Each structure stands twice: as C-alpha cells, then as structure tokens.
Structure 1
Amino acid sequence: MQLSRRDAMLALSAAGVGSLAGCGAPVASDGPGDGTTTDNDDATDDENGGAGGDAVGDHELSTLIAVAHAVYPSAVDGVDEFVRTYTGGRVDGDGAYARGVAEAVETLDDYTENLYGVRYADLGDEERAEALDVMSVDVVDPDPDGTDPQRVRHYLVNELLYALYASPTGASLAGLENPPGHPGGTRSYQEGPDR
C-alpha cells in the first residue's frame, strides 16, 4: 500500500494540526538548505547533524524515518515522504514538541551507541527493530516526562503509529473504513467491512 502526501495531510488534520485548506503543510527534508522545518529559522546545525534550539533537523528526521521503517508494516510503501510531510506539519510552530522529539532522538542515539557503537539511523533494519525491543519501548506506557523508553515511545514510536493509522491508507490496514478526517459518505455506512 502506497502512503501519499494526502495521507500525511489527513493524519495532520486528524491530529488537529493545521488545516487542509491549500494543503500547505511544511515538508521536512533531509537535505541541507532545502527547507527543513524549524521553529527558529536562525537555528544552526549542531555537531550531531540536527538543528539547534527547538528544531527537528536532518538527523532527527532521518531517525524518525528509520523508526517508521522499523515499526510500520512491511506492506506500506512511501514511508520516507509520508514521515517528512507529517513531521513538517507536526513540529511547525510547536517548539515544545520539537524539543521533545529532539531529546527522544538523542536518548535513542545514546542507547544504540552504547549497544551497537552507532546512532540509531545508522543501524540495519533488523538491528533497528531489535534496539527498540531491547530498550523495552513496546512494553512501557508512553509518557512525555517519563523514563527514557517512555519518552522514546511517546515522541517517536506512538506519534509515527498514530500518523499511519490516522491516514486513510494506514487505517485500511487495520480494517477501519472511515478514519478521522477521511470522508466516506453514506456509502461507507451501508457497506460492511468485507466488500
């Protein structure tokens, strides 16, 4: 199943971020100088490749994409662009949330550097899933002010899973006919889930 920019926009709308008017959510990008979404345009890149201050920079974005590849079903395509678009809209103007994401990425990187000797985004596919498993991210309750695994779960894993399943394409994987923000019309109420 192919995730699209429209999926990301509808997930943002379901999250109560921005609006669909003009479909103008910012798109975070992983290339230098090409419009990476920041809360402070004067922020400079730090030594870890991310943007300073409240920004979600290139490194944070590549880590979010790596986490998405680890937690999204293998049947989903278009993950990179979907995460860029969703993240761009999600962090735009929300400095506290952007800081939380940046801190969770730093925590995850510290953990994988101790375990594997490299940052999370540099791990192979199997090691990415294993690192989240060993960190016990799948069994802790998400908490933005909690322990390291709880913050990683809240800001990285749960946010990405919410984005996926709030989109029409992701929702169809879970058997949801009419996810929030996705117009289905009267026909969706008249047909059962097994068409």
Structure 2
Amino acid sequence: MTDDQHGATDSVLTRRRFFTALGGTSLAATVYEYGIGSDRSLQSATETQDSRHPASQYHIDVMTAIAEAVYPSAVSVESSFIESRVFGRVEPKPNHFENLLTSIEAVDGHSRARFGGAIPDISPGRRRKVLQSMGVTAVHPNADGTTAEQVRFYVVNDLLYALFTSPAGGELMGVDNPPGYPGGRDAYQRGPDGGER
C-alpha cells in the first residue's frame, strides 16, 4: 500500500516519523548555523536588505508545498508564513537565498522528472517520497555538498528554522519563548508548575 492509500491515522504517523527523521540532529545544526540569539539573526530584514523580494511566487509555492509534507500534521502551513519567516528574514550569509532558490528548483525538477508533476501538484505523501528518493533524509546538511546535502541544508534547515523560531513551533516543542518572541511579562511570572508565583 502506498503512502497515499493509507488512512488518515497512518498518514499522520507517517508524516510524524518523516518529520522526526528530518528534525533530530539537524535542528541543532540549524540553530547553530543561523546563530539564534545573535543580534544579526533578530534584526528586522528591512534594516539590512533592500525592498526587493528574494523569491518569486513560484519559489514560495514550492517551499510551502514542501513544508506541508515536512511539518507535523498539527501545523497548518500558510504561504504567508513561508514568505515572511523564510524569505522575509535577514539573509544568514551572503548568497544564502540564491542557493536556497537553486535547491528549491532542484526538488521541483526532480519531482517533475521522476514523479510526473510539480511539487505543489502532488500529494504530501508523494512530496515526502520526492525528498526520500533524492536522498535528502539520509544525508547531513552541507552547504557545499551534493544536491541532496544542499537541499537538506537550505530547504529543510530553513523550514525547521522558520518553524522552531515561531510561536506556533515553539509551542509545539514545549518552548514558550522562542527567540524573537519573549512572551511578555507573564511568561516570567509563572512558576515551575505553570501557575502564578
């Protein structure tokens, strides 16, 4: 039985396992690489970038479709989230966005060539198979590595970074105050059991 033929429960489990396989060690690498907590990572994109958007609607749509396959089922993915959290931030390093766009195109090209359709046009289950068939789930992220390693570094890591530094992702992981979202005074007045001090 293919991933697309499973029932709703099996699909959720498959998606969760896929996310876990991608998430484990690469989250630490993502946090380290993008310098969570550094002054640069928390600056407004408008302070350091011009007004030109680094991605076309095509790239946003493909990245959103990949996110729908990668993120846990509890996360509802909006293209506006991908646009602002992935492409609307400060560029981590020179040429990062350029390499990200190239990696997005590589995933979509592989999907068209091997799976008969663009990433947004196939089911989330088949999107996961696209990444698996590219070897993305079996490699470590490497900005200068093979195509699979670059997809893992740019596409997957950027998606993980966007999720885990957002309020929704922080809540999903049990982190009340993800970087950039301190949570206000109330977050610092709760005791260990969650009640007021």
TM tier, smaller? 0.5 to 0.7
Residue 88 of structure 2 aligns to a residue whose secondary structure is: helix
- Matched residue, 2:138: 139
* Paired letter, 2:86: T
Query: Identity of counterpart residues, as a percentage?
Result: 30
Structure 1 stretches lacking a partner, 5+ long: 1-10, 26-34, 39-55
Q: Cα distance 1:194–1:123, how it changes in 2: closer, same or farther (>3 A)?
A: farther
How far, CA to CA, are the matches of 2:163 and 2:151 in structure 1? 17
Q: Which runs of 5+ in 2 are unaligned?
A: 1-33
Deviation at 1:63, TM superposition (A): 1.0
Give the superposition deviation at 1:173. Answer: 0.5
- How many residues in Structure 1 have an aligned counterpart in Structure 2? 157
Picking from 4, 9, 19, the partner of 2:43 is: 19
Q: Displacement of 1:180 after TM fit?
A: 1.9
1:101 is aligned to 100
CA contact 1:104–1:148 (8 Å) conserved in 2: yes
Could you say which residue in structure 1 is the equivalent of 2:87? 88
User: Aligned in 2, Cα 1:183/1:59: closer, same or farther, shift over 3 Å?
Assistant: same
**1-structure distance, mates of 2:138, 2:101:** 22
Deviation of 1:160 after TM superposition, in Å, equals 0.6
Q: How do residues 108-147 of structure 1 correspond to structure 2 at under 5 angstroms? A: 108-147=107-146
Per-residue displacement from partner, 1:2-21 (whole Å, max 9, x unpaired)?
xxxxxxxxx9x85744635x
Q: Secondary structure at the match of 1:109?
A: helix
Rounded to whole Å, the distance in 2 between the matches of 1:128 and 1:165 is 21
| TM-score using structure 1 length | 0.66
C-alpha root-mean-square deviation of aligned residues, in Å? 3.3
TM-score, normalization: structure 2?
0.66
Asked whether the equivalents of residues 168 and 178 of structure 1 are also in contact (C-alpha less than 8 Å), the reply is yes
